[in-house]
Structures are given as structure tokens and as C-alpha cells.
A and B are shown apart, each in its own frame.
Chain A
Amino acid sequence: MNKKNWVLWIIGLISFFYITIEIWPQDNKKGVEMFSKVFSGENGLLNPEWGIMPSISSGLIESFQIAIIGTTFAGIFALIFGFLGSENISPKPVSIFCKLLMNAIRTIPEILMAIIFIVGVGPGAFAGILALGFHSIGTLSKLTAEIVESLDPKPMEAVLAVGGSRISTFRYSAWPQILPEFLSILIYRLEINIRAASVLGMVGAGGIGKTLFFALMSRNWNNVGAIILGIIVVVTIVDFFSSRIRAKLI
């Protein structure tokens, strides 16, 4: 067993070095130059332009709104598709079809969806919401189906034993098991989506992304630094509340 491990490791390391050499940028000197220019000094990333904070806050708030609405919509549909896609509640062909459909949706990157929706409803926050929402339905449905599939049937037997109907069994046994876990993955998804929302704006889907894009293109590193800082603050706040709420759910 050990010898096999060594061989695998050596193969891994060799491939690693080979790849590194292959993708290392040709013009290395330029890289180092860029590095110092970007990071250090007065015009660098690490010296954020505090002055623009007020003007970027509206963009940051919009990103937050996009994330909340997108995630909520995704949650509603994910509940439906999650049930449809679960092997224990849904008939086999329906569940398999649902799972494949959700996998297909997950494959399309949010950015591409954003671009498509911009074509449809025009640039702005709405496109971002649709993009985030649709993409999240994919992952959330899969996770919801997994929650439903891991339901403990034994407490459900107890409700049947007292003469409860199927609806009561669902309402008093299945639902209390599903809801906390579902909310937990939903809120975790919010954490991911707030990050995605900040970035989707770069293609025009609303939020802080557009401002960030301009700053990057014009190589205005001070502004870039300030914007990144703003994003970090918003994301940290969301993460903080998210972990508090999720801890209470369990």
C-alpha cells in the first residue's frame, strides 16, 4: 500500500512541476514590476481611497439586495424541485429527470446567465437577481433533495401509529426535520451569493461590480483597494449574521 502511495505522490509532483513551467508567464519581469506597482506606494492597493466610500455604498447595498432577492426566489423553487428530485418521495423517473435538470442548470456559470438575462431585461439589478436566482436553484435543489432523502422515517411511523393522516405525518414529522436544515443551506447560499453579486456587476448586472470594473480597467488601484475593502466589510457582516442564525437553527 505504501509503495503505491509513493508512486502516486511522485507522479503528482512531477505533473505539478511540468504544469507550473508550462503556465508560468513568459514575461516574468513585467509581473514583478506590476506586483510592486499595484501593491506598494501611494497609488497602491493597500492605500485605499477612503474618499469614495460614500459613493460606493449605494453599489454595495444594491449588491446586497440582489443577493437577498435572488437567494429567496431560488429557495422557493428549490423547495419544490428538491421534493420532486428526491428518490424517496418522488417517482423514480421524475426524480432522475429533476436531478439532471438541476445539474444542467448548475453547469451554466452565473456570469453567463447574467449576460443572457441582460439581453432579456436590460442591464441592472434585475438581471443580476435572475442570474443568481436561476443558478442557485441548481445547487439548492440538489442539497434539498439530499435533505429529504435523509429523513428519518421512524418518527414518521409514530404519527401513522396514532392514526394520523399522511398530511399530518408530513406536517409533524417530516417538515420539522427538513425546515431547519433547509434554512441553513439557504442562508449559507446567501453567503456565496453576496460574493457573486459583488462580482456580477462587472458584466453589467447591477451592484458594485460596475464601479469595480471601471476602477480595474483604469488601473486606479486606490479605488480598487477601497472597493475591495467595502466588499470585505459587507461580506463579513453577512457571514457574521449568517453563522449566528445557522448556529441557532441546529
Chain B
Amino acid sequence: MKNLLTVKNLSKKYSNSLKPALTKVDFKISEGEMVAVVGPSGAGKSTLLRCINRLIEPSGGSISFQDKNINLIHGYELRKYRAQIGFIFQNYNLQNRLSVLDNVLTGLLGQRSTIATTLGLWPKKDILMAKNILKDLGLEAYLYKRADMLSGGEQQRVSIARARIQNPKLILADEPVASLDPPTAKKVLEDLKKVCKEDNIAILINLHDVDMALKYADRILGLSSGKKVWDEKVEKTNKESFEKIYLKK
């Protein structure tokens, strides 16, 4: 599998805390690979994800995407980079008052002309693409409904559609199922897995449920107190390995 993302020596220290959030984290992700990040709360999982698309600026280390270093890009280049990466938030972060269809279309805001989108002019093919993706996820009944009228699980699946329309190479998912009940969580994770395998999109997903991580991921990345403590294929990982991750100080 071809290498997609290389993270070397990644460190992050927030100015208002004593301990660094991330310390010299190293790992690689290949195309189409699903990697689960696990670890206790406060281990730095959210920070890690947000450093990759630079919603948070790293304090040190380097990040390369498709063999190109992205630490110093900004402005137009940064937006173009982010357009290739989808982000799934724990709280879905949909635009509550907009319709489901409009929400999915916002996924293209990094790839279409600002003037046209500000006027609300979307090409027909974009609208068709959004509708098809929603149909594929079984959400076509909600096309014109206000986003906040959907249940939590449905909103999260809309946010997957929003990520999907970007045609990304990588999707970052920050505890996407933490606030969902088990059957709904299962549906969301299955949709993510489907998107990963069918469209060859790499996924880096934060999970706190170790069973889910074992079930869906190809590889497990363990983080504890900002340091990488585990990095193995899922076949080599079992319950005992998790004890090591969660108990390490």
C-alpha cells in the first residue's frame, strides 16, 4: 500500500498548560488504511488529529502528505490541502439551521469559487453528487430537512456525507461515536468502513471503545500522555495490549 501521510517527531505544547500535549509522535498511514487511535482521556488524541490538518499548529516535528511537507503552507495552499482531508467531529458540527443537502454541499467549500458559493450558486453536478452520496448512506428522505431535526446518529452520517463529497484521500474522525448509543455507533462505524474500503480513503479515527477499535481498524495506534506507546497491525493487538496502553503513565 502506498504511503499517504508521514508524521515525524510531532510535538505540541499549549501555552497555558505545564505538560506537553504531544511529545515526539511518529507514525505513517498508507492509502486506504483505517487506523484507530486509542488511549486514555487527555492522551492527546484530539490534538493529534487537529495538528494534521493544522486546525492546531504543531510546536515541533514535521508532517508530510503525499510526500510533500505541509508544515509551512498557508493561505490558498493550506485551504487546498485541507480540502483533501475530511474531518468528522464528535459533536457533528453541522450547520444546524441549514438543510441536510446544504450541509453536505458545504463540504465543497474548499474546492469551489468563493464568489459563486457565497451567492449560493452550486453547479448542478455538485447538487447531484450530494444527493447521490446521501442516497448511498440511506439518508435521502432527509434531503431538505433542517440538520438539527435529525437524531445524533443521522447527523453524524450526514457529516460523513459531507466528508465524502470532498473526495478526500484521508478522513480524520475525532471520537465520532462517543455520544451515540451502541447500535447507532455500529451503523456509523460501518458506514465509515464502507467509505474506506469502497473508495480507498484512509481513515484516522479516535476511539475510546477498544472493542470497536479491534473490530473495524486495520491498525492500532496507542497514545498515552502525549507519547506513542503502541503501533501495530490489528492482528497483533489484543486485550492485553490495551491494558499496557491504558496503564502506562
Contacts and interface: CB of A to CB of B under 8 A. Distances in A.
A163 B111 CA distance: 8
Contacts of A180: 97
Contact of A161 (B87, B95, B97, B118): B87
Interface string A176-217: 110010000000000000000000000000000000000000
B110 A158 contact: no
B96 to A, nearest CB: 7
Contacts of A158: 87, 89, 93-95, 106, 159, 162
Contacts of B85: 161
Nearest to A170: B118
B93 A154 contact: yes
B81 A172 contact: no
Given A165-B79, A171-B117, A160 B93 contact: no
Contact of A176 (B82, B84, B97, B108): B97
A154 B89 CA distance: 9
Contacts of A177: 96-97
B172 to A, nearest CB: 8
Interface of A: 154-155, 157-165, 167-168, 171-173, 176-177, 180
Interface of B: 53, 55, 78-87, 89, 91, 93-98, 102, 106-111, 114, 117-118, 159, 162, 166
Given A159-B109, A180-B97, 19 more contacts: A155-B93, A155-B96, A158-B89, A161-B82, A161-B85, A161-B86, A162-B107, A162-B110, A163-B79, A163-B166, A164-B110, A167-B114, A167-B118, A168-B109, A168-B114, A171-B117, A172-B106, A172-B109, A176-B96
